[in-house]
Amino acid sequence: MVRNSTRFITMCFLIAIFIYACSTPEAVVPTAEVVPTETPVIATATPMATAIPASPTIEPSPTTITLPEDLTVIPLVRGQVTVRPFAIMIDNHPDAYPQSGLNRASMVIEALAEYGITRYLAIYPGNLTADDRAIGPVRSARDYYVQWAMGFGAYYLHAGGSPTGLALAESSPVIINVDALRADSEANFFRVETATRFAPHNLYTTGSILRTLGRSDTGFTRTDLGYLYALPMGMEQRGPASTITYYFEYADQPVGWTYDPMSNSYFRTRFGKPAIDEVSQAQLSTQNVVIIEVSEAAIEGDEKGRIEQQIIGSGKGVFYHDGIREEITWQKSSAEAQLAFYTKDGKEVYFTAGQIWISAIPSLDHISE
């Protein structure tokens, strides 16, 4: 009897200890400090034409990376675009070859203008080096280029434009319109008259002019601009030397890129020949080549052969970096939204630190690798 009582008391004591242990807080294990990073913002405005799919998964922005010292451009790193960028229309008519300053742009967007001839929208950082190297020739606006510029809240520099392009550039509240053909903008441009440079392919600006232009701007407050970047891959991870060619409208007028693993750069070709910068006399090169498919059509009755491009929406694309090819999608949810890029699994693209060159072509079938 005593043994049974003792056993009962012992059992009650053990149960009480067990209950107390379960109610005691767990020990806290120290963890590494996590630095909060800015989460990218995706515009949700209603698209103008094509449907926008559900927003892809977006990873948080990485912490600031130390950019390679040999970069010749200032990348548009998200969270570091604190000064209004410049978006400049650059001529690509044969009489404009070779252009000046495309090698200094953070991003170049190339698309058709008319009669199979393309035009560039070159995006420069607001803190572009102030010097007297020429940038141009500057040419006229089109509405889809204006929409791309609106996505960056940029100073938009051009010389006249199509009726719809001019109307949008003059009315948009998100860009600062700088038209060389208006008297109040003449000081921001100059013409070069030589045996090989003549109007309308001889209008230029410079880094010094742009820095002076932006000095009085205090109304830029956007924090969502820019892209995610990664450091270049090591030699053992890079793809082999390769060549990419494609065309916009005519198969006998190809452009392309030759990838060099040693420099991890894509070198620009035009009609099979090196495309050079007039100032440096060096072949144009980039670290990122993006080719996107964009719907387009001729404007009925337009005497100058202008076209329309539907850049509000989304579509397919191909991304080349570090010698590697990736299938991606592009998205621009509204005229005011920045052009964005996503991988096949819906994550935001990481670009290799350096320049980004985008070509908008009617069909990805125009690409040869």
- Residues 63-77: pLDDT tens digits? 466 667 777 899 999
The average pLDDT across 243-254 equals: 96
| pLDDT above 50 for 36 | no
The average pLDDT across 135-149 equals: 98
| pLDDT above 50 for 195 | yes
Q: Output Rg (C-alpha) for the chain, integer angstroms.
A: 27
Q: Is 305 helix (H, G, I), strand (E, B) or coil?
A: coil
| pLDDT above 90 for 108 | yes
Residue 2 within a domain: no
Q: If phi over 0 gives left and psi between -120 and 50 gives alpha, with beta otherwise, what is residue 90? A: beta
Instruction: Please provide residue 2's backbone torsions phi and psi, each rounded to the nearest 5 degrees.
Output: -65, -40
Percent of the chain clearing pLDDT 70 (strictly above):
82
**Adjacent-strand bridge partners of 265:** 260
Do 296 and 308 form a contact (C-beta atoms < 8 A)? yes
| pLDDT above 60 for 8 | no
Residue 311 within a domain: yes
- Which pTM value belongs to this model? 0.83
| pLDDT above 80 for 200 | yes
Residue 63 within a domain: no
Q: What is the pLDDT of residue 65?
A: 61
Percent of the chain clearing pLDDT 90 (strictly above):
73
| pLDDT above 50 for 236 | yes
Query: Is cis: bond before 40, omega within 30 of 0?
Result: no
* Top-confidence residue, 242 or 41: 242
Domain of residue 146: give its range. Answer: 86-368
What is the CATH classification number for the domain harbouring 143?
3.50.90.10
- Give the span between the Cα atoms of 337 and 45, in whole angstroms: 8
- Give the span between the Cα atoms of 90 and 82, in whole angstroms: 24
Residue 64 within a domain: no
Residue 357 within a domain: yes
Residue 223 within a domain: yes
Residue 81 within a domain: no
Domain count, the chain: 1
* Mean pLDDT computed over every residue of the chain: 85
The average pLDDT across 276-291 equals: 97
Residue 29 within a domain: no
